[in-house]
Amino acid sequence: MLNVNNLTVQLGGREIISSISLSVAPGKTLAVLGESGAGKSTLVGAILGLLRASSGQISWAGKPIERGKAALVMQEPRSAFNPRLPLRRSVLEPLYAGKLPDDPARLERLCKGLEIDPNMLDRLPYQVSIGQAQRAGVLRALIASPPLILFDEPLSALDAVTQKHTAKLISTLQQEEGFAALIVTHDMGYAAAHADSIAVLRSGHIEEMATAENFFRSPQSQYGQDLLNAAVSLGAIERAVI
Amino acid sequence: MAIQINGLSASRAGRLILHPTDLTLPVGGRIGLVGPSGSGKSTLCHALVDHLLAESIAVAHVPQSPDEALDPLRRLEFHWRQAERALGLSHDRERQRTLLAALGLDGRPLNVRPWEWSRGMQQRFVIALALLAPLELLILDEPTSALDPIIAAATLDLVDDHIANTDTTLLIVTHDLGLAATRAERLMVLSEGRIIEDAATEDLLSAPATAVTQSLVAHRNWAELPC
């Protein structure tokens, strides 16, 4: 289980996130919602160990998160890959980095689950569609079986139809693989459809934390209410089904 | 009265991206242009803008990202003056104040560079520039994709309010049918460079005629998915 306890991160002397606590259990999905600049990406950076916490603890199963235990799926699928390497090389990188053996059967199974034609992996990032590249990004995150995967706006570069299809593939794989997922997103519809719990982040604080069901039924904070109204007004969620 | 265009087409590197298309955009209408990525939406926008400008029809196109519209090295005041000059307008402080206030940007100094504002504010600034002179057509290309939901919804509401009592036609271009459906009374569906459906929003949602539109309708919003 991912546990973030009283995490504070300062960058350039400014407090970007302040005393945040949250947790995500294996097989569960936490969606972190909030405006640009709320500190969402800083949170992701801190969990990955790329940013140093000023205070507080981040742990998995009670121990600090080791290298390779958390993977990241980035927002812009194509620029997330080395443009000069075939996708296969990048996708298998976590195995090389962790000195883990190749597992062709697992690769094949994951490709099937993500609807990736294995031949596509021999192409360069710019020779595949954005949707295909993002599924390759998910494949790379999954390949070394990390217990925790962080998704930073994983669907925002994809079109509306591809978004929903990709989200469904990720969700199905999560049921099979049992990884914990922390998804940073603006997309309330995505959170409503796929998250178990919701954390609303604003100016570095957690404004509201709830199960997805409770949040979408009746957000407790004014800001959560505003987010929900905006999503309805933009057609991402239909009022009738909330 | 309507903006009427016949046989609009566009090609790139010898390949026809937009097949000859007839468009009728009623004055004051709210129209959505939807279609999957790569269907030719942005190409249609550019061809439309070129065509209308050549006919001296007042049209403004707000691109998907404010980065496409604003020079990072120039201050916002410069962009404003430049837009006024391009439209043959003299500088009018009152008009500037009113327009910025209408988009929720009142009281903010413009002697800053674009990146000193948030993306949402930059986007609204670009929309304010687009609204400087009376418009016959305002094109918003993926108006929400760079913004948080609250800012995105507020921005669309502000634009709606501002053009409510004018003859400005609004064309919202998006891959997201859910968004277009909440904001447009009529929807056109573009697929592989052709308009394959064009109908009142309610009719199109209740009886999509083509497979492409059926897929867009089926994926219209998240909560309808069996999850």
Q: Where are the domains of chain B?
A: 2-58+134-220, 71-132
Judge whether B140 is closer than 8 Å to chain A, CB to CB.
Answer: no
Residues B133-190: tens digit of each pLDDT: 999 999 999 888 767 888 888 889 989 988 988 999 999 999 888 889 999 999 999 9
CATH topology for the B2-58+134-220 domain = Rossmann fold (3.40.50)
| CB contacts, 8 Å: A166 with chain B | none
Closest residue, chain B, to A216 (C-alpha): B223
What would the 3-class secondary structure string for chain A be?
CEEEEEEEEEECCEEEEEEEEEEECCCCEEEEECCCCCCHHHHHHHHCCCCCCCEEEEEECCEECCCCCEEEECCCCCCCCCCCCCHHHHHHHHHHHCCCCCCHHHHHHHHHHCCCCHHHHHCCHHHCCHHHHHHHHHHHHHHCCCCEEEEECCCCCCCHHHHHHHHHHHHHHHHHHCCEEEEECCCHHHHHHHCCEEEEEECCEEEEEEEHHHHHHCCCCHHHHHHHHHHHHCCCCCHHHC
| CB contacts, 8 Å: B225 with chain A | 164, 168, 193
A164 and B225: CB-CB below 8 Å? yes
pLDDT at position A163, please?
Answer: 87
Q: How far apart are CA B94 and CA A31, in angstroms?
A: 44
Nearest by CB: A233 against B120, B153, B227: B153
B178 and A235: CB-CB below 8 Å? yes
Strands (E), B102-214: 137-141, 169-174, 186-191, 194-200
Residue bearing tokens 């919602």? A33
B120 and A36: CB-CB below 8 Å? yes
A234 and B178: CB-CB below 8 Å? yes
Report the gap between the CA of A165 and the closest CA in chain B (Å).
9
Residue ranges in chain A modelled with pLDDT below 70 = 239-242
A188 and B149: CB-CB below 8 Å? yes
B153 and A158: CB-CB below 8 Å? no
| CB contacts, 8 Å: B227 with chain A | 168, 171, 193-194
Nearest by CB: A193 against B152, B180, B225: B225
Judge whether A189 is closer than 8 Å to chain B, CB to CB.
Answer: yes
Q: What percent of chain B lies above the pLDDT cut of 70?
A: 97
**Where residue B200 falls among pLDDT bands split at 50, 70, 90?**
very high
Asked if A19 and A39 touch (Cβ cutoff 8 Å), the reply is no
pLDDT at position A239, please?
Answer: 58
Average pLDDT of chain A, as a whole number: 91
pLDDT at position B202, please?
Answer: 94
Nearest by CB: A236 against B37, B150, B178: B178
- Residue in B158, B206, B208, B165 with CA at minimum distance from that of residue B183: B158
A171 and B227: CB-CB below 8 Å? yes
- Is residue B12 helix, strand or coil? strand
Report the gap between the CA of B174 and the closest CA in chain A (Å).
9
